[in-house]
Amino acid sequence: MSFFNELKRRNVFKIAIAYLMLSWLILQLVDVLTPILMLPSLFGRIVFMSLVIIFPITMMITWAFELTPEGLKKTSTVSEEESIRHSTGQKLNYAIIAFLIMVIGFQLWIAQDDNEDTVNNQNAHADPSIAVLPFVDMSEKKNQEYFSDGLSEELLNVLAKFSDLKVAGRTSSFAYKEKNEDLRTIGHDLKVSYILEGSVRKQGTTVRITAQLIRAGDGFHIWSETYDRELSDIFLVQEEIANSIASSLAISMELTPSQNLISTKTKNMDAYDAYLEGKMLLSKRTPESINNAIKLLNEAVLKEENYAPLWGTLAQAYTLVYYFSNAESPLNGIYLGEMAARKALEIDPTSSSAHSVLGDILKDQLQWELAENQYKLALKYDPNNVETLEQYGQFFLRTGHLIKSAEFLSRAQELDPLSALYNAVEAIVRDSLGENERATELSNIAMQLSQFSSHNILAARFIQDLDLDKFENSQTQLSKVIENNNLREPKFFNTQLVNSMADKEKLDQYLMSILNHLKISPQELNQEDRYGGIIYAGLAAELKNYDLALSFLEIEAKNSLNYKNHDVLLYYWAKVFVPMRNLPRMKQLYVDYGLVDYWRRTNFPNFCRADGAAGFNCDDFSQVSG
C-alpha cells in the first residue's frame, strides 16, 4: 500500500481538514471576544501559535494511534477485525460537514455585518464624532484614579486637535463615570458616533493602558489595543492611540513639520503626575480642592520649571480662587495667574489652554482687545477647545455682542451638552436676545444638571425671570438663592428681602436702607452674596426706580476686583435693564468698564451705535434688526 493510501486509510487527511476548520473558527471567536473582554492583543497571537504547534502533534498522533472500542491503541497493534476506522471516518465526515456549515454561516454573518459597517461608517464618517469616557483605574489599591482620569482628559485634548473630529467635552463625557450606562444611550445623549473607553494600571515606573474604540450606534468594537510601556513613554502612547483612532475613522490632520499632537512633554514623571492630580483637584471645584491644587502645582513647578501644562494649570487654579477659594485675594490671584500663564506661553507659545486662561485673566482686568487676541490664538492652536469657545462666548456677552456670544456659547454647549454652566450661560444670552422659550429650556436643563443646588445658576435664573407682577415665583427663586448661599445671619440678603417683594413700596424702602448702608461701606456690596449688587439693582429696575438701580451698579463699578462680581457684565443686557440702556448714568457705566472705547476700536453691538465723535445711543435689542 502506498504512503498516500495509508494516510487516507488512517483518516489523517480528514483529521487535518477538521482541525484546520476548527482552528479557523477558534481564531474568529478570539477576534470577536478580545475587545469585548479587553484581552491584550498578544492573546490572539498566543492562540494562533498554539494551534500551529499542536497541528503536527495531532497529525503524528493520528498516524501512530487509532481509536478503538477499548480506547486509544497503537495502529500497528490493531487488527483489521478490531478496527473501527471506517466508522470513525464517517463521524469525521459528519464533523467536517458541520464545521463547513459553521464556516459558511460565519462568513455570511461577516459579509452582512461588513455591509452594515459600510453604511454605518459612511454615515459616521460624514460627521465623525467621539466621546472619551473616563478610563477605569485598575491599580491594586485603586488609588490612581487621578491618573486614569487625567490620562482620559489628555486623550480627549489630543483628539480635539483633529479638526475633522468632533470631540465631546470633559464634563459631558465624565458624567458617565462609574455608571453602567448602555454605550448606545451615551452616544445618543452626547450625539457622537464613536466612544473610546479603556483602563489604566499604573505600577511603579510601568503602565498598562487598554483602549478600545466602539461604534455608538450598535456597540460594535472597531479597534482595541493594549500598551505595556514604561511611564516615560506615556506621551508616545497617547499619540499612538490618537493616530490609531484617526486611522480607524479615516480622518487626517494636516500638521506642519514643526507641529505635534502633544506640543510640550516632560521626562520628569513626578511633575507629570502632579499635573494630572492638579487637574483632577481643579475639576472638583471646592475650596479645599482648589487650595490643594495650588499647593501641589507650586511645589511641582519648582521641580520642573519647563513643563508648560504645569504652569498653565497653575494659572487656571489662580483664576478659580475668586469663585471657589480664599487662598488668595482675587487681585493677587489674578496677578499670580497672569504670571503663571505667561510663563507657560514662554515655554510653549502654541499652548491653547495657556492662551485661553490668559484671556480669562485679561477679561477680568477689562483689557478687552488683549483678551480677545488671546482667545483668537487659543482657537487658532485648538479650534475645538470647548473651554475657550465658552469663555470667548462669555467675553462677547460681557461686551454686549450678543449674536456672536450666542454663536460661540452654542458651539460649546453642543460639544459639552451635560455641562450645567454652559447651558446656564447660553440661557443668559438667549434671554437677552429675547429668545425666551429657548432661554427657559436651557436654564431648566442647567438647573436639573446642577440638581438645583448651584448658587451661580440659581442667581442667573432669578435675574432672567425677575417679574414683580408674578412676585411669588420670584420670591421662590430668590429663596433658593439665599438657601444655597451658606452664609450665617446675613444683614440684608435674607428672608426679609424675600418677604418685602410682596409689597413694592416696602421693597423700595428696604433697598434704600441697603443703599444707605453701602454708601458708607461700599466694599460690603457683595459681601453677603456674590450676586448681591446685581440682584439689588435688578429688583430696583423692576420697580422702575432706575436711579436706585443705577446707584447699586455704580457702587459695583467703583469697587476694586477684590469686592466686585467678576461676572456682573453678563447680566447688564438682561431684559430688566433694557429701559435703562440709554440713560446717561448707564451709558457712563459702559464707558467706565471700557466698553465704549472697545466698541469704537472694533464694532458697536447691534443695539448700540455711534452718535458723532464722542456720543453713542443704545436701544432695546428686540427693536434692532440683525
SS3 195: strand
Q: Report the alpha-carbon distance of residue 512 to residue 548 in Å, rounded.
A: 8
Q: Is the pLDDT of residue 11 over 80?
A: no
pLDDT the model gives residue 411? 96
- Segment among 57-66, 346-355, 383-392, 406-415 with least mean pLDDT: 57-66
pLDDT the model gives residue 29? 79
pLDDT the model gives residue 524? 95
Backbone φ and ψ for 227, nearest 5 degrees, come out as -120, 120
pLDDT the model gives residue 449? 94
pLDDT in tens, 419-450: 999 999 999 999 999 999 999 999 999 999 99
pLDDT the model gives residue 619? 80
pLDDT the model gives residue 262? 82
Is residue 320 within 8 A of residue 290, CB to CB? The reply is: yes
Query: What are the structural domains of the chain?
Result: 3-121 (no CATH), 127-251 (3.40.50.10070), 269-383 (1.25.40.10)
Note the Cα 91 to chain centre separation in Å: 59
- pLDDT, average across residues 335-348: 96
Backbone φ and ψ for 225, nearest 5 degrees, come out as -160, 150
Q: Report the alpha-carbon distance of residue 604 to residue 595 in Å, rounded.
A: 9
pLDDT the model gives residue 379? 95
pLDDT in tens, 111-165: 665 555 544 444 444 468 999 999 999 988 788 899 999 999 999 998 888 878 8
- pLDDT, average across residues 520-544: 95
pLDDT the model gives residue 515? 97
pLDDT the model gives residue 37? 63
- pLDDT, average across residues 494-508: 95
- Segment among 13-17, 67-71, 318-322 with least mean pLDDT: 67-71
The DSSP call for residue 492 is: S
Grid cell, residue 605, equals: 453691538
pLDDT the model gives residue 447? 95
Helix axes 471-483, 455-465, angle to 10 degrees: 160
Backbone φ and ψ for 39, nearest 5 degrees, come out as -80, 150
CB proximity list for 476: less than 8 A, separation 6 or greater: none
Position 352: which residue type?
S
pLDDT in tens, 195-247: 999 999 988 889 999 999 998 888 888 888 889 999 989 998 998 898 888 88
178: left (phi > 0), else alpha (psi -120 to 50), else beta?
left
Q: What is the percent of the chain with per-residue pLDDT over 70, rounded to a whole number?
A: 87
Q: Is the pLDDT of residue 624 over 50?
A: no
